[in-house]
Structure 1
Amino acid sequence: MKFQLNQIDFTTCPMVPAVVQDASSGTVLMLGYMNRQALEKTLETGKVTFFSRSRRQLWTKGETSGNFLYLEEIHSDCDNDALLVLARPAGPTCHTGETSCFGFVRPRDMVSELESVIRERKNSPQRDSYCSRLFGA
């Protein structure tokens, strides 16, 4: 089901938590908060935008560092009061230079890595790729 802005009732909950996950690896990158304007801007621009509770204004992740989070998908939870944002990071997500704001990132297992390569070859075929040729058969 495609995400619709009106799934979230911002009248009862003006800000919702947004867990950001790397769309390729599944690594949890960060937690931010979105109000209606942040969610609208994210959907319009394709760059993940939050509402800063300390500065009380919108901020697009990467606007100073260049390490943007490019939106792939958004999902709401079963109560429609929290978001899961799948994104492609353009660099480290954390201001400390770490991949994730949660520190250590567990390496993926071999099967997950292989699945990722096969999915990539199916979605973006390469002439010299054995996997791509299998999908073309």
Structure 2
Amino acid sequence: MSCKKEARTIMANSAPVLLALVALFAVFPASGYPQDAGSTISFGILFADRDPIVGSATCYNGKTCELVKDIGPIHSLSITHFSKSPDRGSRLKIECASDCSFGNQQFSTEIGRERQFYFFNGSDTFTAKLLAIRIRDPVGRILLNY
């Protein structure tokens, strides 16, 4: 009977070691490098004529991360080439049911150090720029926090 009890004691004591090993293999894959655990991005979308939307998404370094899919006038809102570093070229991309774009009149804009982006009805679909001020209706603004 004492052997059985001793075996249970050894197994009970080895459980924390086993859990630690499982955690170690989850963090360090077979290649020996830590996996990208991802970063949580919180966002808010304040519409000009609708209720605001808030949410969060887990994004991974160097990957495209979709924040919103088919909500209100937005068909898709994503961050491409995500990086927490402001000088790594992350871009915010928007697609709307009807044509919309950022202040640069394009479907995407560089994030850099900015965390607030306005978006408007319409966009420039041609490359020639006219020397005229074109007033576009605001759809809303996007706020990012990470």
Superposition TM-score tier, normalisation by shorter sequence: under 0.3
Q: What TM-score results when the alignment is normalised by the length of structure 2?
A: 0.25
Q: What TM-score results when the alignment is normalised by the length of structure 1?
A: 0.26
Instruction: Write 1 or 2 for the structure with the bigger share of strand.
Output: 2
Answer 1 or 2: higher relative contact order, Cα 8 Å, separation at least 6.
1
Instruction: Write 1 or 2 for the structure with the bigger share of helix.
Output: 1
Structure number with greater Rg is: 2
